[in-house]
Amino acid sequence: MSSESSTPASRPSSSRSPASRCQRLAYLRRLTMRDRQLLAWLAEHYVLSTDQITQALFPSARSARLRLATLHAIDAVHRFVDVTTGDNQHLYTLGPLGMLVYPTTYTDPQRADARPPRSSIERTERIIGSPRLRHLLGTNQLFVDLLAYTRSDAGARLMRWWSEQHATAAYALAEIRPDAHGIWQAGGRAVGFFLEHDNGTEPLARVVRKLRGYERLAEFGPRYPVLLRVPNRRREANLIDALAGVPTVMPIAAGLHGEHPAGPAWTLTADPGPRRWLHELPSDHGPRNIATNPHRFDAEDDL
């Protein structure tokens, strides 16, 4: 879905001299498994806020701030103040040490075919200056909410979290371009889904046309629900009305930005009765049943 425009955030802080090779090796040894998980997310999903990182990985805001300050000090991450929301919290992207750990990263949220950046600063500036910044944060929030939920439910697990560029490449034969793709396990079920994060900026007719692109995937791959996450009840009602009587091969479920995605937040457009939990949505993993092996993230394996 298209993203909202946003005023560029402030430039990342980069006043320190670059670390020497010996320093970088010493810093690498200081990275924990949690640090590396965060860096992996920043490599694929570009940007996360302090609140999102706290929610997904840390027991408290204080412990998150302390560790993030350390990661910033050793150049594992860049940080900058997001001036677009009014709360002035930090947003984080990969720093030079982070790009050393994950040298193959997605480099431009606007153009998948953009030339590689010369440095982590250039990559960060592309993210800061992108009109997709708010859209990226909104898309990532759904997955952060799911990750936070797993910390209170031992039976829940986020088995997959793919970015737009990852999912687009993996399902290139179907020519779909979801904002993100995931597989969620809860209540004894594994449910795959494609996310379309809608900010209410596109005509509904265009949204409906995009959904038809998933029909080709259903011919040879999984049949996962497409989650249309919208900003308000009016947009949701209009979308459900627009899809009434429209045949779709993939299940379509609408929900609101502010509702917890794991819970009873989803209305099936083909059956707009009681709202359903994410794990209750219909989901078919296809002939290869890819959910049985969630660690195989190779595109060919999935197709």
- In the prediction, which pLDDT does 247 show? 78
Q: Rounded distance, CA 100 to CA 24, Å?
A: 9
Number of other CB atoms surrounding residue 5 within 10 Å: 13
Is CATH 3.40.50.12280 the right assignment for the domain spanning 21-131? Answer: no
- In the prediction, which pLDDT does 288 show? 64
With the C-alpha atoms ordered 292, 58, 149, 142, is the resulting torsion angle positive or negative?
negative
Domain with CATH 1.10.10.10 in the chain: 21-131
Of the candidates 128, 44, 62, the residue with the CA atom closest to the CA atom of residue 91: 128
- In the prediction, which pLDDT does 135 show? 93
Locate 98 and state its tokens: 């982070």
Exposure letters 269-296 (e unless 16+ CB within 10 A, then b)? bbebeebbbbbbbebbbbeeebbeeeee
Which pLDDT tens digit goes with each residue over 249-296? 899 999 999 999 999 999 999 888 899 999 999 999 987 655 444 333
Exposure letters 39-72 (e unless 16+ CB within 10 A, then b)? bbbbbbbbbbbbbbbbbbbbeeeeebeebbeebb
Q: Which residues of the chain have pLDDT under 50?
A: 1-8, 14-15, 291-303
Q: Supply the DSSP symbol for 223.
A: B
- In the prediction, which pLDDT does 17 show? 55
Of the candidates 33, 20, 47, the residue with the CA atom closest to the CA atom of residue 120: 47
Residue 214 amino acid letter: Y
* Cβ 144 vs Cβ 197: under 8 Å: no
